Amino acid sequence: MNSHRHLAILELIPTGPSSITVKQLQQKLRSSGLELNERMLQRDLQALYEQNCFGLELDKRTKPFAWFINPIWRSSSNIMSCEQAQHYLLLEQLLPQSLPVDLKNDIRSKAEHALNRLNGNKPDWLTGAHNDSVTVKTDSKVIEQIEHVIKYKRAVSAEVCRTIYDDAYWLQFNELSFYDLREESGVLMASFMVGTLHDKCYQIPLYRVRNVKILQKQRREPSPEQISSLRLAINKGKRETEINLVIKVPEQSVVNLGFIEFGELINKQTLEGEMSLLTFKVTETRQLLERLLKAADWLEVVEPVSLRQHIINKLKQAHLNYSL
């Protein structure tokens, strides 16, 4: 998340019933010194909307659609709700070091007010909140370059990060033809072809691309068969099995309070010792395993047994690696 850019966007969105379109917001951002293309701005708005933490709403009654902040989130009253207070404290904890000092101070001031609203009782789950988020930094310049070459059908040279036996290497490619860019599970994925003769299509996270140089030549166009072959390979590599994930978490954890969701919540039980047992309907993927491992210090997988055993084996190996 680019907190500086997102805060600037939120500041310019009016409180309902007033609203603002993407193009109007783009112009206001440009006037304030922040240049964003329309697609990037739409992605930022969608990301903020899906987080459900900022009162951002989409008005679909107008054409084009417009955005506004729910008045409940911007009341003239000095009283802050407990939910808002918790959101401010979470935002303060996730602040990046690169954020300008004035913005940091502003957020910390609101967080201090939030802590007073909660009578000085900071929720326990905040100490583990960062375990649930994966920060992936993608250069905005690279995004703009790839969007440009896709639109105008140009080839590029670039460095691509490839992983070989768990080691990462930046490899130089003299000619790449990017033809698609889409977001999957919160990560921008780029599809491309290599060189002038190789007939396979590939897809990689865009953060693994750097030093892009636009070439004075047309890109290659993949055939429908080549695109279909790539999609089949991607789907084959994904495990699409639906499972009921049963986890045990503290009552005040980010999962139990609804800040983090693994899928569709289908059952919730309260246990002794201020613990909760939650059941989610989820798709078993590698990303799910990574999220569960990151939260292993406060979250316990109960079922399915095979997934629980897999995590136990991983933790045992980590125990051996660190000679604990």
What is the per-residue DSSP string for 160-175? EEEEETTEEEEEEEEE
**CB contact at 8 A, 218 and 154:** yes
Residue 322's pLDDT band, with cuts at 50, 70 and 90, is confident
Cα–Cα dist 306/241, whole Å:
13
According to CATH, where is 3.30.70 located in the chain? 242-321
pLDDT of residue 1: 44
Token look-up 């316990």 returns: 300
With a cut of 90, say whether residue 247 has pLDDT above it: yes
Residue 254 has a CB neighbour count (10 Å cut-off) of 25
Per-residue pLDDT reduced to its tens digit, 280-306: 998 887 778 888 888 888 899 999 998
**CB contact at 8 A, 192 and 160:** no
pLDDT of residue 95: 63
**CB contact at 8 A, 204 and 176:** no
Burial class (CB in 10 A: 0-12, 13-18, 19+), 81: middle
pLDDT of residue 46: 83
Which of 166, 94, 85 is CA-nearest to residue 128?
94
Token look-up 């911007």 returns: 74
Task: With H, G, I as helix, E, B as strand and everything else as coil, classify residue 273.
Answer: coil
| Cis omega (within 30 of 0) for bond into 14 | no
Class of the CATH-defined domain 3-123? mainly alpha
Average pLDDT value for residue range 233-262: 75
pLDDT of residue 133: 40
pLDDT of residue 74: 55
pLDDT of residue 134: 40
Cα–Cα dist 310/293, whole Å:
10
In angstroms, what CA-CA distances link 252 with 31, 202, 271, 307?
A: 43, 43, 13, 24
pLDDT of residue 167: 63
Q: What are phi and psi of 311, to 5 degrees?
A: -65, -40
Kindly state the helix (H) or strand (E) to which residue 215 belongs, with its residue range: strand 209-218
Per-residue pLDDT reduced to its tens digit, 11-39: 888 888 889 999 999 999 888 888 888 88
Yes or no: is domain 242-321 CATH 3.30.360?
no
Average pLDDT value for residue range 317-322: 83
According to CATH, where is 1.10.10 located in the chain? 3-123
With a cut of 50, say whether residue 75 has pLDDT above it: no
